[in-house]
Amino acid sequence: MNQPLLSIKDMSITFSSPDEADIEAVRQVDLVLTPGKTLALVGESGCGKSVTARAVLRLLDKNARIPKGEILYDAEGGRVDIARLHPDSTAMRAIRGNQISMIFQEPMSSLSPVHTIGDQIDEIIILHQRLSPKKARERTISLLDQVGIPGARDRSNAYPFELSGGLRQRAMIAMALACTPKLLIADEPTTALDVTTQAQILDLLRQLQADFGMAMLFITHDLGVVAEIADDIAVMYLGDVVEQGDVFEVFRAPKHPYTQALMNSVPRLQRKAERTRLTPIKGTVPSPKDRPVGCAFTSRCPHAFAPCPGQRPERTPVSPGHVARCHLLTHVREEALA
């Protein structure tokens, strides 16, 4: 049961451009996904969380490379390293949509505007399960029904622009689940939706995960959503995973200054008289080009000290299953020993 389904080890992703030096968007990511569990990948815009997710399906742009690390996936036929597969190879395509599938942020632009949602879902079923178009449509309708789309049979003939945002995202989820994947990657699936719809979609995802038993990689920048859906959390900053562990453990006692700062910037529901100003993180996220050799957070960290800019902090266990990359952890301990 605790056998990992997919483990990303020491992965980095660089983007090359003809005019500039290569940009290392993701410097070092280690993640483990287990069946039936949800890992939330959290971070600001541009920290590399979407890029990491897309790398798992090899959906990155042509100018992206994975120069280092491995993405080990326990496929049906044995363990494969996705990082070494060609993006358009048969092996990769057999995994995409079939064993690992993905839900995207904007359900309007992520569905083809000129095909009915039924057509778009049928396609994936016909492709991987080799059903006849008629049987595929029956499966599509039952899927649409399962994700809570009322009048599924009629709606399967609807075009995306005829559906509301919530229904579109449900259709997107139905598409992702069409081949009962082992891993579902959700890239900010609720960001474009209003709050009530967001709650419904999260509910649906949780329930479907219980039904299908799949692993889920959930990307978001919303800590409220994380609390709602995740078992584990990984916090990313500028291409590095700075802290990860059990979601309650990390929320209760965040160890990395960045995680702590994130927690402090979440507004709380309070009476007006008791409200205090939020404490935003000072400065802005630097470009990956200006990232310090050491800890990426050095330039904005209130506790930065001598080793931070030049030396990469190691993964330091804080408690079982909870690790953080921060010099404070090791150095305080050393000082205590001395």
Alpha helices (H) along 194-246:
195-212, 223-229
Amino acid at 306: A
Q: Closest CB to other proteins among 159 and 212?
A: 159
How far is 334 from 338, CA to CA, in rounded Å? Answer: 6
- What number of chain residues touch other proteins (CB under 8 A)? 32
Structural tokens at position 109: 């632009």
Question: Is residue 323 within 8 Å of residue 316, measured between CB atoms?
Answer: yes
Structural tokens at position 290: 């200006």
Q: Should residue 159 be labelled a site residue for other proteins when binding is judged by CB under 8 A? A: yes
Q: Should residue 97 be labelled a site residue for other proteins when binding is judged by CB under 8 A? A: yes
SS3 232: strand
Integer-rounded Cα radius of gyration of the chain: 21
Q: Should residue 104 be labelled a site residue for other proteins when binding is judged by CB under 8 A? A: yes
Side-chain-side CA neighbours of 190 within 13 Å: the count stands at 23
Q: Should residue 175 be labelled a site residue for other proteins when binding is judged by CB under 8 A? A: yes
How far is 195 from 71, CA to CA, in rounded Å? Answer: 34
Q: Should residue 114 be labelled a site residue for other proteins when binding is judged by CB under 8 A? A: yes
Alpha-carbon torsion (91, 47, 278, 318), positive or negative: positive
Q: CB under 8 A: which stretch of 33-41, 116-124, 218-226, 329-337 binds other proteins?
A: 116-124
How many angstroms separate the Cα of 56 from the Cα of each of 12, 44, 53, 164, 207?
12, 20, 5, 30, 24
Selected from 32, 55, 95, 214, the binder of other proteins by CB under 8 A is: 95
Q: CB under 8 A: which stretch of 120-128, 238-246, 254-262, 299-307 binds other proteins?
A: 120-128
Give the relative orientation of helices 165-177 and 195-212 as an angle to the nearest 10 degrees: 20
Selected from 9, 65, 68, 93, the binder of other proteins by CB under 8 A is: 93
Q: How far is the CB of 290 from other proteins (least distance, A)?
A: 27
Structural tokens at position 189: 């699936």
DSSP 3: S
Q: Should residue 142 be labelled a site residue for other proteins when binding is judged by CB under 8 A? A: no
User: At a CB cut-off of 8 Å and minimum separation 6, what does 338 contact?
Assistant: none
Element (H, E) at 57: helix 49-57
Selected from 12, 28, 38, 110, the binder of other proteins by CB under 8 A is: 110
HEC string of 299-323?
HHCCCCCCCCCCCCCCCEEEECCEE
Residues 35-64 interacting with other proteins (rule: CB under 8 A): 54, 57, 59
Selected from 113, 280, 283, 320, the binder of other proteins by CB under 8 A is: 113
Q: Should residue 106 be labelled a site residue for other proteins when binding is judged by CB under 8 A? A: yes
Q: Should residue 26 be labelled a site residue for other proteins when binding is judged by CB under 8 A? A: no
Q: How far is the CB of 120 from other proteins (least distance, A)?
A: 8
Q: How far is the CB of 167 from other proteins (least distance, A)?
A: 16
Q: How far is the CB of 111 from other proteins (least distance, A)?
A: 6
Q: Should residue 81 be labelled a site residue for other proteins when binding is judged by CB under 8 A? A: no
Q: Should residue 101 be labelled a site residue for other proteins when binding is judged by CB under 8 A? A: yes
Q: Should residue 25 be labelled a site residue for other proteins when binding is judged by CB under 8 A? A: no
Q: How far is the CB of 88 from other proteins (least distance, A)?
A: 5
Q: Should residue 111 be labelled a site residue for other proteins when binding is judged by CB under 8 A? A: yes
**Which residues would be at the binding site for other proteins (CB under 8 A)?**
54, 57, 59, 88, 93-98, 101-102, 104-106, 109-116, 123-124, 127-128, 159, 161-162, 172, 175
